[in-house]
Amino acid sequence: MATRASERSAEPMRIGVDEQGGLPLPWLGPAMQHAQALERSHALLLQGPAGAGHLEFAGLLAQAWLCEAPGRAGRGAMPCGRCASCHLVRTRSHPDLLLVLPDAWRARLGWLGDDEAGAKPDAKPSRDIRVEQVRQAIDWSHQTSGRGRGKLMLLHPADALNGPSANALLKTLEEPAAGLRLLLSSTDPERLLPTLRSRCQRLKLDLPDDAAATAWLQARGLDEPAPLLALASGSPLEALAWGEEGITPGWLAELPQRVAAGDASAFSGRPLPRAIDLLLKLAHDLMAQAAGGAPRFYIASRWPPPADMAGLVAWQRALLRAARHDEHPWNAALLVESLVTQATVLWPKAAAGRAPRNMPPLHSAR
């Protein structure tokens, strides 16, 4: 549901293994073994659920492909972490590795200085991979390899390729320059041009299991990770991002009742896309509840009585409409307030603007 789940700015992004061979994320190891079996492919499509660590994995794979001491100390498919090339990948200064990301992603990661490829300094950073970036990447691919182990172009996320940039890339995917490999990452490969997809070998990236995700989050100071993990559909990266935005298990527990009571204050100060994401997930769970099912995102919440299904469908439509236009909010706070007010009519027996009779009193947020 959350298409922006992995657009986060939690911990600083780590590219590749460190000097001791430590992985940027502990669950990336198995996919590295699978990648080794695809060694001959010149184009790889890395796919998996949002928040699985696509960019971290792509950086790890890039480091392994370019490593100048592969297999050192019996590390198998892993990069050595210590050679000059591994160091250059880690610092994003390897001459044979090109990271092609939307400007909005590079801004969030603090990488804007890396490559100015036609970006307009005053404009809002683009969420697309621009055709100018792809053209510049193709020019780069025809230059001689700096360190003689081939070149690697990483496009992340490939879903951000718009029509012109995808078309510009097609010929390079068909007939790449000698020694060039391409790595595309995607959380939703079906959104890519079929002609792009069909030219890539696929590699699947999985989320860690609950136990591993829980341990990783606890090591980062989240004492009770389960409700945040559920909100994040099992992605520990996304759960951590929610935690860093001040979302706590207690806050999540109260949200359904606060929304049912028309209380929009829970969302004040939150970016509009995040507020709408929280509301869409709530709409999903309210539908599950109305149909007699269990919630998926707000697993430990106290719930208002089941809401009117027809009204829920209409509310969800309003939320989806708002989500499509969240780049141009005329007034984000008013929009969220209006969406929350619309939710109160889903419980016709409750007095307008007040909690249904059988609700316990609400505590203030956090």
Residue with Cβ nearer Zn ion (49 or 70) = 70
Q: Which residues bind Zn ion (CB under 5 A)?
A: 67, 69, 79-80, 83, 86
Q: Which residue has the tokens 């480091």?
A: 63
CB nearer to Zn ion: give 80 or 213. Answer: 80
Cβ–Cβ < 8 Å for 18, 9: no
Nearest of 334, 308, 309, 339 to residue 323 by alpha carbon: 339
**Smallest distance, Zn ion to C-beta of residue 155, A:** 23
Closest approach of Zn ion to the CB of residue 16, in Å: 9
Spatial distance between the Cα atoms of 132 and 115, rounded to a whole number of angstroms:
12
Nearer to Zn ion, 10 or 69 (CB): 69
The distance of closest approach from Cβ of residue 88 to Zn ion in the complex, given in angstroms and rounded to an integer, is 10
Contact of 126 with 119, CB cutoff 8 Å: yes
Torsion sign across C-alpha atoms 173, 178, 181, 182 = negative
- List, in sequence order, every beta strand (DSSP E) within 157-316: 180-186, 201-204
CB 80 within 8 A of CB 67: yes
CA distance 119 to 91: 22
Residue closer to Zn ion (CB basis): 51 or 79: 79
Q: Tell me the C-alpha distance between 283 and 307, whole Å.
A: 10
Residue closer to Zn ion by CB (options 67, 261) is 67
* Closer residue to Zn ion in complex, CB, 24/234: 24
Taking the complex as a whole, the smallest distance from the CB of residue 70 to Zn ion amounts, in Å, to: 7
Angle (CA) 206-211-214 rounded to 5° is 95
Measured in residues, the chain has a length of 366
Return the SS3 of 342: helix
Residue 182: CB minimum distance to Zn ion, A: 21
67 vs 279, beta carbon nearer Zn ion: 67
The nearest distance, CB 94 to Zn ion, in angstroms, is: 11
- For Zn ion, the closer CB: 80 or 260: 80
Give me the least distance between CB of 69 and Zn ion, in Å please. 5
Q: How far is the CB of 84 from Zn ion (least distance, A)?
A: 8
Nearest approach, Cβ of 91 to Zn ion (angstroms)? Answer: 13
CA–CA distances in Å: residue 229 to residues 214, 225, 244, 247: 8, 6, 13, 12
Q: Cβ closer to Zn ion: 55 or 67?
A: 67
DSSP 21-84: ---SSGGGHHHHHHHHHTTT-SEEEEE--TTS-HHHHHHHHHHHHH-SSTTGGG-TTS--S-SH
Sign of CA dihedral 169, 173, 177, 183: positive
